[in-house]
Amino acid sequence: MPEGRCNGEQKPERRPGPPPLLDVRDLSKSVPGPRRLFRHLDLTINAGELVAIVGESGVGKSTLLNILAGLDDADGGSVVIDGVELGSLDETARTRVRRERIGFVFQAFHILPYLTLRQNVALPLALVSPDAAAADRRADAMLDAVGLEGRGDGYARDLSGGELQRVAIARALVHRPALILADEPTGNLDPATAARVLALFAEAVRGNGSAGVMVTHSETSAAIADRVLTLGADGLVERRD
What pTM was computed for the model? 0.86
pLDDT of residue 17: 66
Residue 11, pLDDT > 60, answer no
Give the distance from CA 22 to its chain's centroid. Answer: 11
Cα–Cα distance for residue pair 60/66, rounded to 1 Å: 10
217-234 average pLDDT score:
89
User: In the chain, what are the domain boundaries?
Assistant: 48-73+90-239
Could you tell me the fold of the domain covering 48-73+90-239?
Rossmann fold (3.40.50)
pLDDT at 15: 52
CA angle 180, 214, 116 (to 5 degrees): 55
How much is the mean pLDDT over the chain? 87
Output the pLDDT for position 79.
97
Average of per-residue pLDDT across 148-157? 94
Cα–Cα distance for residue pair 203/210, rounded to 1 Å: 10
Give the rounded percent of residues in the chain with a pLDDT score beyond 70.
Answer: 91
Among 147-156, 181-190, 205-214, whose mean pLDDT is lowest?
181-190
The single-letter code of the amino acid at 134 is A
pLDDT tens digits, one per residue of 18-76? 789 999 999 999 887 767 788 889 999 999 999 999 998 888 999 999 999 999 999 99
The HSE-up count of residue 42 (CA atoms within 13 Å, CB side) is: 16
For residue 238, the model assigns a pLDDT of 83
